[in-house]
Structure 1
């Protein structure tokens, strides 16, 4: 990352600075985004991150909360207005992947009461960086559940965890294999036609790996928030949000059919 200015912009600390940290991104003027450090052995991530091989420009949002993150209620990570429950490891560390477009971007941590704890605003100045025209984000409120996002494009291609990369340029970004997500689908040049967005309650994750024992769930109903964003980070940005309840393992729900 080449930094044009070392100054932090818009950094708010309503709690003592030492208690909550946001290591990346840094505020200011950036070029070429952030650095993916998920392979560094010194960094302890609470969840295994899977590189689906589609979005090569992924970036990592990393930091630490003072309190251990396996207790309720949870903090919230808000990236460009998109909220996700913020789970951490026992030491309070967190890491989330995101694919930022050029222009103004924001990362915010909110306390369980909804107050801003940390906020960083930065401007991505690399004009060659692709701008998401269609983005679909799914996040949920049970950190042991594995929820999968499925998107069907107008040419009949189906993006999901076993088929993340589509030949039409769309695909699934990096996501965590357990925890609250997010799962994210992005296209920079979407084709015209009909799209379908689905979510699937695939299974659960415990100390011994994946399983399908519904009795271990933390919540009787898992609330999944699905956000559709069109022309992100532009004056024409538009978004739609859906709250989907998932009650049973294997449940597959159509969130939205729409046309571009």
Structure 2
């Protein structure tokens, strides 16, 4: 049987090419060892994430949204059903990191009104990409905020920006140093026992670096969205979403304690 490799891309032709572009990942069959260029210098707006050693298999979602007159309302990036605020630079370009698991994956760009503008579906075939048994994703709606994801595992280990890789196989795959995230914790073979998920409103990013001045906040209150995904890309997949207000810098919030 001969596969038509162009079908996933041709399906996007109905959308005006100059309105919204989704340059990567491409649709169809992907093998990260051949197409993943995560090691190349790139920008994830407003700034690149810090590579703390747990992100070697991340991929960049890249594209461009045509500039509109006046102030641009934020678009939305939906990755495998997980909604993320999509920020761009002055030219409308965007690049966000994500760690895709094996199997079927989807990336979609939606307008501020919720209309689907671009969508690709691809199948990750790399043997080195096992299916995540547990994934926790944190994103937020203030581009100047820095929110940190913290996970405490059943054996007492604590995953956070200062200790991203755990000896039990779990770890932070994307540590977004600023902007709207995502920060992501992934574990392919979760331990049995109790997990605790926290988020910490760590600080703000200004022209002179990080600060903790409440009077200089861009938004009076920001909103964080935390998604828990169990057995991703399998028939047993289950997900939970939590939307949490973050009112003050330094606020530490317990999102959920659960037993796997």
TM-score (norm 1): 0.92
- 1:73 deviates by 2.2
- Are residues 250 and 44 of structure 1, via their aligned partners in 2, closer, same or farther at CA, if it must alter by over 3 Å? closer
- 1:7 deviates by 1.4
- Are residues 199 and 45 of structure 1, via their aligned partners in 2, closer, same or farther at CA, if it must alter by over 3 Å? closer
Any stretches of 5+ residues in structure 2 without a counterpart? Answer: none
| 1:130-180 deviation digits (Å, cap 9, x = unpaired) | 111100000001110000000000011111111111111100012321100
**2:112 match:** 112
- Are residues 244 and 97 of structure 1, via their aligned partners in 2, closer, same or farther at CA, if it must alter by over 3 Å? same
Q: Distance in 2 between matches of 1:8 and 1:175?
A: 34
**1:36 match:** 37
| 1:4-45 deviation digits (Å, cap 9, x = unpaired) | 8641417446652122111100001112364234633xx554
Corresponding position: 1:7 with 2:14: no
Contact conserved, 2:38 with 2:57, CA < 8 A, in 1? Answer: no
Contact conserved, 2:44 with 2:97, CA < 8 A, in 1? Answer: no
Q: Distance in 2 between matches of 1:37 and 1:133?
A: 23
Aligned residues: 254
Q: Distance in 2 between matches of 1:45 and 1:140?
A: 15
Q: Distance in 1 between matches of 2:37 and 2:217?
A: 32
Q: Distance in 1 between matches of 2:14 and 2:217?
A: 34
**2:49 match:** 49
**1:81 match:** 81
Contact conserved, 1:45 with 1:89, CA < 8 A, in 2? Answer: no
Superposition RMSD in Å: 1.9
Corresponding position: 1:242 with 2:247: no
TM-score (norm 2): 0.92
Contact conserved, 1:12 with 1:116, CA < 8 A, in 2? Answer: no
